[in-house]
């Protein structure tokens, strides 16, 4: 996808003016938060599970070279071919070459964020291969021509009504009813023949198991297995940080992943893959290619961003982020949206083109609180801001504003006078209506929401009167 993080402010303005987006985001993030809270409350051992998961990831990262070598050896022994790619370009080249060598015409794909990250669509297009997205949400956005807006629910920005309209236009045999069940049936009919007739299947992996050479996918739809079984060749693209030491270590994460992501105890389908089709097997791919992708992960290892490599891509941070819930995933203009994206995008694509992202955060701390592997997202976003300041990146206006604020904040009498004056001014602007719709120089705030009318008197004035 074309990155537009550099125009975050314009993206946000557009997103806030889009009424159906707000409806879609509210409906979905509210449900996801409620479901997660319920299933985490019922998991009495959650705190210990979370601490254990963090320790396992930290241990694996500390010994990453060892585990990568071990994984490679076991995967090759199982019959897979293993490739290493430092950049998205290198990964795409491997994919394109495999497709060309196979003379492939069509590829079915199970969504993976790594695939988005390296631009897998481009690699398939270069090889002249038709790409068929099989995850329902990816199918929706492929038909709509949209990029994903959430890492677990890529079509979160679409309402049911919009999907109904889209399917009616694009499906060969659309359902006549527009309820969600009928829409899902329509997609099932559309995709069945594609599963069976593709030449190549493409997937990611949620986990790599070092001591068996296995990789793991989790889905609720069953599309991973339906995608990767019929085609002759299966290509896996996966980030090197997905490693865990053994099968039993993976079990710890499987308990956390779907709880954090969608509020269920386990996903419907969890599959451990080991190599290509074996002698006597009636189905399965003849060729299995695993591409291990770096894309700046090795840089993050020796950086303050190291804890970000614990991330298991559950999306809980974005579901609980007030900024994400207001503007949606597209505004971030990058593959990874929300709090985790605001850390990953600068790390993977440079801080210059994504300078607004670390600042699009209220530091409320919810993202860290709900993170199943305890990633200190607010701290890292703050550190990224500090790094920007050191590089002299904040604008002249920001620096001027900070200087004015510093001058006031270090002079208490002046500060109180200024806040008292603005209190009177804002109350005047509200004209007793309880809200303020426009404030001079603050159209950026009031353009998409009202400011509440302040109480009479500043905090200090009220405090002195003994009112709380």
Partner 1 sequence: MSRDALLAKIDHANAGRGDMDVKAAADALIAEPDRFRVTFNDQPLYDRFVEKATSETVTATVETLDALADVPAAVAAYMAARDLGNRIALQPRESLTALDWSAFETAATAQMNEVLALTFADAAIAETGSLVFRTGPDAPVLLNFLPLHHLAVVRRSAILPHMEDVFDHFGTSAADQPRSLNIITGTSGTADIEAKNVRGAHGPRFMHIYCLSG
- Cα–Cα nearest to 317, from 279, 277, 373, 272: 373
The token pair at 420 is: 């008292």
Report the residue number, 294 or 356, with the smaller CB distance to partner 1: 294
How many CB atoms are closer than 10 A to CB 460? 13
Confirm if 293 and 237 have CB atoms less than 8 A apart.
Answer: yes
Report the residue number, 6 or 59, with the smaller CB distance to partner 1: 59
d(CA 289, CA 240) in angstroms, rounded, equals 15
Give strand pairing partners of 436: 451
Residue 233 has phi, psi (to 5 degrees) of -130, 135
Beta strand extents in 240-286 (DSSP E only): 243-244, 269-273
The nearest distance, CB 284 to partner 1, in angstroms, is 6
The nearest distance, CB 305 to partner 1, in angstroms, is 12
Confirm if 195 and 108 have CB atoms less than 8 A apart.
Answer: yes
The nearest distance, CB 311 to partner 1, in angstroms, is 17
Report the residue number, 32 or 348, with the smaller CB distance to partner 1: 32
Report the residue number, 127 or 151, with the smaller CB distance to partner 1: 151
The nearest distance, CB 351 to partner 1, in angstroms, is 20
Given CA atoms 359, 364, 367, 371 in this order, what sign does their dihedral have?
positive
Report the residue number, 90 or 423, with the smaller CB distance to partner 1: 90
Give, to the nearest 10 degrees, the angle between helix 377-390 and helix 338-349.
Answer: 40
The nearest distance, CB 83 to partner 1, in angstroms, is 9
H/E element holding 291? strand 287-293
How many CB atoms are closer than 10 A to CB 420? 14
Report the residue number, 61 or 200, with the smaller CB distance to partner 1: 61
Report the residue number, 283 or 390, with the smaller CB distance to partner 1: 283
Q: Cβ contacts of residue 148 below 8 Å, gap of 6+?
A: 111, 116, 137, 138, 141, 154, 155, 329, 335
The nearest distance, CB 22 to partner 1, in angstroms, is 13
The nearest distance, CB 104 to partner 1, in angstroms, is 20
């Amino acid at each position: 996808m074309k990155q537009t993080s550099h125009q975050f402010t314009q993206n946000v303005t557009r997103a806030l003016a889009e009424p159906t987006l707000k409806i879609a985001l509210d409906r979905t993030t509210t449900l996801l938060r409620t479901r997660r809270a319920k299933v985490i409350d019922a998991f009495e051992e959650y705190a210990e599970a979370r601490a254990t998961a963090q320790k396992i990831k930290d241990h694996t990262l500390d010994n990453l070279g060892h585990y990568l070598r071990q994984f490679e050896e076991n995967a090759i022994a199982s019959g897979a071919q293993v490739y290493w790619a430092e950049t998205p370009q290198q990964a795409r080249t491997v994919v394109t070459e495999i497709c060309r060598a196979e003379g492939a015409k069509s590829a079915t794909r199970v969504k993976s964020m790594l695939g988005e990250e390296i631009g897998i669509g481009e690699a398939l297009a270069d090889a002249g291969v038709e790409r068929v997205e099989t995850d329902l949400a990816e199918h929706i956005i492929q038909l709509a021509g949209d990029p994903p807006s959430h890492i677990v629910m890529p079509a979160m920005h679409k309402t049911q009504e919009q999907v109904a309209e889209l399917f009616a236009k694009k499906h060969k045999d659309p359902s006549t009813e527009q309820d969600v069940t009928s829409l899902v049936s329509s997609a099932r009919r559309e995709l069945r023949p594609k599963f069976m007739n593709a030449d190549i299947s493409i997937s990611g992996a949620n986990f790599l198991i070092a001591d068996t050479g296995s990789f793991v996918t989790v889905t609720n739809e069953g599309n991973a297995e339906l995608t990767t079984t019929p085609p002759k060749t299966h290509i896996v693209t996966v980030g090197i940080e997905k490693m865990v030491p053994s099968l039993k270590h993976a079990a710890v994460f499987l308990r956390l992943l779907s709880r954090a992501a969608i509020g269920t105890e386990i996903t419907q389908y969890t599959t451990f893959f080991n190599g290509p089709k074996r002698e006597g097997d009636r189905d399965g791919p003849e060729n299995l290619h695993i591409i291990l992708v770096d894309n700046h992960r090795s840089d993050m290892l020796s950086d303050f961003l190291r804890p970000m490599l614990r991330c298991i891509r559950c999306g809980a941070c974005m579901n609980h982020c007030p900024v994400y819930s207001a503007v949606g995933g597209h505004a971030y203009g990058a593959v990874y949206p929300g709090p985790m994206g605001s850390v990953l995008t600068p790390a993977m694509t440079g801080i210059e083109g994504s300078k607004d992202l670390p600042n699009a955060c209220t530091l409320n701390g919810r993202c860290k609180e709900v993170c199943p592997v305890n990633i200190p997202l607010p701290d890292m976003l703050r550190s990224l801001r500090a790094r920007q300041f050191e590089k002299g990146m904040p604008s002249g206006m920001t620096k001027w504003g900070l200087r004015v604020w510093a001058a006031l904040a270090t002079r208490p009498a002046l500060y109180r006078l200024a806040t008292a004056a603005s209190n009177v001014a804002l109350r005047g602007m509200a004209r007793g209506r309880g809200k303020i719709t426009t404030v001079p120089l603050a159209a950026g705030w009031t353009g998409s929401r009202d400011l509440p009318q302040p109480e009479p008197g500043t905090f200090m004035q009220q405090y002195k009167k003994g009112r709380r």
